Amino acid sequence: MTLPARVRISRLPLPPAHGVALQLTRLCPEVPLADLQAAAVALAGGRVVGALLRHAGQLTLGVDPGWRGKGLEAALQHHLEQEA
């Protein structure tokens, strides 16, 4: 799985910090962050450009439009599965 060089995928510690929570809300506005059980995020240039959030037994994926189709979706899924 090849990602753009400046992208890093990591597991998000919960609860997310305020600034990160704002970015998650932008990507996945329908997810109640208080219900997060796990999260994997894609970071580029100091900001969250993709997130896969596990909440209430379901998964929600959010990726910035400019980053779609660059492998983030699969990388986030893989990372969250590996960390489970």
Residue ranges per structural domain of the chain: 7-83
Pairing between strand 7-11 and 36-44?
Answer: antiparallel
pLDDT interval class at 1 (50, 70, 90): low
Give the pLDDT of residue 27.
97
Rounded to 5 degrees, what angle do the CA atoms 71, 6, 28 make? Answer: 55
Model pLDDT for residues 30-59, shown as the tens digit of each residue: 999 999 999 999 999 989 999 999 999 899
DSSP 55: E
Tell me the CATH architecture of domain 7-83: 3-Layer(aba) Sandwich (3.40)
The reported pLDDT for the residue numbered 57 is 87
